[in-house]
């Protein structure tokens, strides 16, 4: 791409512009010839040229003739082989069809002389053997399964081009010869004729350039069609399909293709090419003129240029394992949403160091989990509680689960607790733990998985407090003299303000303060806990904080807030006192010294919450 490409922008999308530019560039190419071994294929217009690209979030780019139907031909081969893998498993399939590149042309017979095993499923012999592997109680049902599979890949119904099918069938003598050779060696266990008819039909399935891009994106997305979200092939076989496309997908041009373009790909004699950049993109190209190896001329040119211009070679993989750890901090840097009384805060300010929190992100596989485990193991003496936050982990594989299981075992052996948060999207983790523990007749320990990160941190804090003083929070009740609101006041000063205190009690779940209501009182919490929450657009309540006995709430009213910004509910049976704002102001005017002390207390509480918030910002950023 010359940098001149950027001198004018035609649309809001530079990728759309680029593909248009590419299309313009190669449209004039006149090399190659439309396949003519059957007359129907030769009817294709050599000017047809479509480029499509589909991203992992299912966005479709299209330029040119991406909606013209053509027959899938050899592009069907790796996918039908994939169905064979689903039906029989790798071991049995490998006995019948090899996976070595033959270095020979697509229509060579290429059977191993002793066994009759086709070299690989991308040559006709291997592809016919693969069609023979598809299960079904009749040949119609077998073909129907093949067609349904392609419909899953494409995301819509597909049809057979009947003229092409009949023409392929009536001229397919060489393939019939191959079929009987396969029968002779026992690679096909039954009459090859109906298998060959299914093979001819599968090659005559009608697709478009856009379809090929979606098919490619489905393989890139571990077998899940990114447009429909539907699984087209079991993900464990995607690596095998891609391996074959990588080593044998482009006939005797496969080595050079991988060397130069670097994407597993498959071409067909009707002019289609599907190329896959695993985890990133699918590309579909349609242009009928072929080179003498049977690959679309414009298809090769366009894929080569896209790959060069955007560094899309599959082995262009920089180290990105370093981004797995999003943040590491301790329970003294970030607190749970629970607002605790002074003495508990003081204790956790120091003891919170024994809670270690790892926030992970991206892809948890062997290499990234290894880094996380190594770093945690280095810090093993420094924590009693370990929280592993999986909220931003997009995908977790079994090897990562196994490594985390070994971490859990080590921690348990040393009386340390591990808590995983946000594991709801990673059922594989729970399944792995359950599996290993069941083998030893053990259950998953309670609180190993806590969905919400704040609850996990609160759980660890509570356990630190329990270990320290035997109780915490709502279980204690606070003496009014020890209330943070009255800090620095002498007992007789507290006595003077006491007449203003109005005792109140609430049942569990009672609404104490309603968002939007007038902020006209301050609350001192004596027993039980209350939670601050806001209503989400969907009606659910999102908890923001929990308050323990000994703390005040609603005190920002003193700064002049007119109305409440959130709801406050009683978590359990609650006892508290309220002070009316009006009374408080009046009191301050007559008891100036006490008033100033109280304002100072509120300011100090607010400043300390500001300080915690700033610390949390540094830890998160």
**Active-site residue 199, yes or no?**
yes
Question: Are the C-beta atoms of 139 and 192 separated by less than 8 Å?
Answer: no
Query: Which lies closer to a copy of itself via its Cβ, residue 480 or residue 616?
Result: 616
Binding to a copy of itself, residues 332-371 (CB under 8 A): 361-363, 365-367, 370-371
Residue 381 has φ and ψ, to the nearest 5°, of -75, -15
Query: Which lies closer to a copy of itself via its Cβ, residue 110 or residue 526?
Result: 110
Which x/- pattern, by CB under 8 A, does the window 210-229 give for a copy of itself? ----------xxx---x---
β-partners of residue 72 are none
Query: Which lies closer to a copy of itself via its Cβ, residue 204 or residue 258?
Result: 258
Question: Are the C-beta atoms of 68 and 208 separated by less than 8 Å?
Answer: yes
CB of 255 to a copy of itself, least distance (A): 4
Stretch that binds a copy of itself, among 170-178, 198-206, 236-244, 462-470 (CB under 8 A): 236-244
Binding to a copy of itself, residues 110-139 (CB under 8 A): 119-120
CA distance 172 to 160: 17
Question: Which residue is catalytic, options 63, 93, 214, 269?
Answer: 269
User: Which candidate, 437, 220, 363, places its Cα nearest to that of 371?
Assistant: 363
User: Which candidate, 234, 238, 325, places its Cα nearest to that of 278?
Assistant: 238
Is 232 a binder of a copy of itself (CB under 8 A)?
no
Binding to a copy of itself, residues 379-398 (CB under 8 A): 380, 392, 394-395, 397-398
Candidates 86, 309, 343, 583: give the one binding a copy of itself (CB under 8 A): 309
Question: Are the C-beta atoms of 331 and 385 separated by less than 8 Å?
Answer: yes
Query: Which lies closer to a copy of itself via its Cβ, residue 181 or residue 558?
Result: 558
Q: What would the two tokens of residue 484 be? A: 């943070």
Rg, the chain, Cα only: 34
CA distance 207 to 155: 11
Question: Are the C-beta atoms of 273 and 212 separated by less than 8 Å?
Answer: yes
CB of 490 to a copy of itself, least distance (A): 16
Question: Are the C-beta atoms of 547 and 339 separated by less than 8 Å?
Answer: yes
DSSP code of residue 443? P
Q: Match 């977790």 to its residue by tokens.
A: 396
Question: Which residue is catalytic, options 52, 54, 76, 77?
Answer: 77
CA distance 571 to 531: 6
The HSE-up count of residue 487 (CA atoms within 13 Å, CB side) is 15
Sequence-ordered alpha helix ranges (H) in 387-426:
398-413
Candidates 27, 67, 184, 323: give the one binding a copy of itself (CB under 8 A): 323
DSSP states along 232-267:
-S-HHHHHHHHHHHHHHTTGGGHHHHHHHT-S-EEE
Stretch that binds a copy of itself, among 20-28, 72-80, 306-314, 509-517 (CB under 8 A): 306-314
Is 163 a binder of a copy of itself (CB under 8 A)?
no
Query: Which lies closer to a copy of itself via its Cβ, residue 263 or residue 351?
Result: 263
Candidates 73, 102, 478, 546: give the one binding a copy of itself (CB under 8 A): 102
Question: Which residue is catalytic, options 34, 63, 74, 261?
Answer: 74
CB of 127 to a copy of itself, least distance (A): 16
User: Which candidate, 305, 301, 310, places its Cα nearest to that of 280?
Assistant: 310
Which x/- pattern, by CB under 8 A, does the window 559-578 give for a copy of itself? xxx-----------------
Is 279 a binder of a copy of itself (CB under 8 A)?
yes
Is 303 a binder of a copy of itself (CB under 8 A)?
no
Question: Which residue is catalytic, options 18, 81, 199, 329?
Answer: 199
Binding to a copy of itself, residues 31-70 (CB under 8 A): 55-57, 59
Candidates 17, 29, 452, 571: give the one binding a copy of itself (CB under 8 A): 17
CA distance 251 to 257: 10
Q: What would the two tokens of residue 350 be? A: 């120091």
Is 442 a binder of a copy of itself (CB under 8 A)?
no
CB of 558 to a copy of itself, least distance (A): 6
**Active-site residue 74, yes or no?**
yes
The HSE-up count of residue 439 (CA atoms within 13 Å, CB side) is 5
Question: Are the C-beta atoms of 282 and 275 separated by less than 8 Å?
Answer: yes
Query: Which lies closer to a copy of itself via its Cβ, residue 252 or residue 583?
Result: 252
Candidates 174, 374, 431, 468: give the one binding a copy of itself (CB under 8 A): 374
Stretch that binds a copy of itself, among 129-137, 173-181, 303-311, 571-579 (CB under 8 A): 303-311
CB of 607 to a copy of itself, least distance (A): 5
* Size of residue set near a copy of itself by CB under 8 A: 126
Candidates 27, 377, 481, 505: give the one binding a copy of itself (CB under 8 A): 377
Q: Match 């070994």 to its residue by tokens.
A: 406
Candidates 402, 416, 496, 543: give the one binding a copy of itself (CB under 8 A): 402
Candidates 189, 255, 346, 516: give the one binding a copy of itself (CB under 8 A): 255
**Active-site residue 320, yes or no?**
no
Residues in Cβ contact with 601 at an 8 Å cutoff, skipping those fewer than 6 apart: 484, 485, 486, 487, 488
Binding to a copy of itself, residues 403-432 (CB under 8 A): 403, 405-407, 409-410, 413
Binding to a copy of itself, residues 482-541 (CB under 8 A): 488
Candidates 135, 162, 582, 593: give the one binding a copy of itself (CB under 8 A): 593
Candidates 29, 239, 291, 343: give the one binding a copy of itself (CB under 8 A): 239
**Active-site residue 251, yes or no?**
yes
Q: Match 């890139």 to its residue by tokens.
A: 220
Quote the strand ranges of 529-573, DSSP E.
530-535, 541-547, 552-553, 567-570
CA distance 483 to 125: 85
| Residues annotated as catalytic (active site), given as ranges | 74, 77, 199, 251, 269
């Amino acid at each position: 791409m010359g940098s001149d490409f950027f001198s004018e922008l035609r649309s809001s999308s530079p990728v759309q512009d680029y593909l248009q530019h590419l299309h313009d560039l190669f449209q004039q190419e006149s090399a190659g010839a439309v396949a003519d071994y059957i007359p129907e294929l030769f009817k294709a217009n050599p000017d047809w040229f479509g480029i499509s690209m589909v991203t992992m979030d299912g966005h479709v780019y299209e330029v040119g003739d991406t909606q013209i139907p053509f027959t899938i031909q050899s592009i069907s081969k790796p996918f039908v082989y994939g169905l064979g893998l689903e039906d029989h498993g790798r071991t049995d399939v490998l006995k019948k069809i090899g996976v070595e590149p033959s270095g020979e042309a697509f229509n060579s017979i290429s059977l191993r002389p002793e066994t009759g095993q086709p070299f690989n499923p991308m040559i006709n012999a291997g592809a016919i053997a693969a069609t023979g592997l598809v299960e079904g109680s009749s040949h119609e049902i077998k073909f129907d399964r093949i067609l349904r599979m392609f419909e899953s890949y494409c995301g819509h119904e597909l049809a057979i081009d009947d003229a092409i099918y009949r023409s392929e069938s009536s001229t397919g003598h060489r393939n019939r010869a191959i079929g009987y050779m396969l029968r002779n060696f026992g690679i096909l266990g039954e009459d090859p004729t109906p298998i060959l008819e299914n093979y001819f039909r599968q090659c005559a399935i009608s697709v478009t350039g856009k379809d090929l891009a979606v098919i490619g994106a489905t393989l890139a997305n571990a077998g899940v069609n990114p447009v429909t979200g539907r699984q087209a092939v079991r993900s464990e076989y995607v690596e095998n399909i891609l391996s074959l496309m990588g080593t044998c997908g482009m006939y005797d041009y496969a080595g050079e293709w991988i060397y130069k373009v670097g994407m597993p790909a498959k071409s067909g004699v009707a002019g289609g090419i599907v190329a896959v950049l695993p985890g990133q993109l699918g590309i579909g190209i349609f242009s009928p003129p072929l080179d003498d190896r049977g690959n679309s001329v414009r298809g090769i040119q366009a894929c080569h240029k896209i790959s060069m211009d955007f560094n899309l070679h599959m082995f262009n993989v920089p180290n990105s394992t370093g981004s797995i750890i999003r943040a590491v901090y301790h329970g003294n840097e970030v607190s749970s949403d629970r607002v605790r009384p002074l003495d508990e805060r003081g204790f956790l300010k120091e003891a919170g160091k024994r809670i270690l929190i790892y926030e992970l992100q991206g892809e948890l596989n062997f290499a990234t989990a290894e880094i996380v485990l190594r770093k945690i193991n280095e810090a093993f003496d420094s924590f009693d509680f370990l929280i592993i936050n999986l909220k931003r982990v997009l995908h977790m594989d079994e090897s990562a689960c196994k490594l985390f299981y070994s971490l859990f075992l080590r921690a348990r052996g040393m009386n340390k607790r591990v808590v995983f948060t946000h594991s709801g999207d990673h059922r594989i983790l729970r399944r792995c733990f359950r599996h290993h523990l069941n083998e030893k007749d053990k259950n998953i320990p309670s609180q190993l998985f806590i969905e919400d990160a704040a609850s996990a941190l609160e759980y660890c804090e509570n356990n630190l407090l329990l270990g320290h003083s035997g109780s915490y929070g709502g279980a204690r009740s606070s003496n009014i003299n020890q209330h943070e609101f009255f800090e620095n006041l002498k007992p007789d000063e507290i006595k003077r303000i006491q007449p203003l205190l109005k005792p109140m009690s609430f049942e569990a779940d009672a609404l104490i303060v309603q968002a939007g209501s007038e902020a006209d009182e301050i609350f001192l919490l004596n027993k039980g806990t209350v939670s601050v929450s806001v209503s989400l657009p969907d009606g659910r309540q999102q908890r923001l904080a929990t308050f323990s006995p000994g703390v005040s709430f609603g005190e920002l009213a003193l700064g002049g807030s007119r109305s409440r910004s959130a709801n406050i509910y009683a978590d359990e049976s609650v006892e508290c006192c309220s002070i009316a704002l009006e009374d408080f102001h009046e009191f301050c005017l007559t008891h100036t010294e006490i008033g100033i002390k109280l304002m100072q207390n509120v300011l100090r509480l607010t400043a300390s919450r500001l300080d915690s918030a700033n610390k949390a910002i540094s830890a998160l950023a």
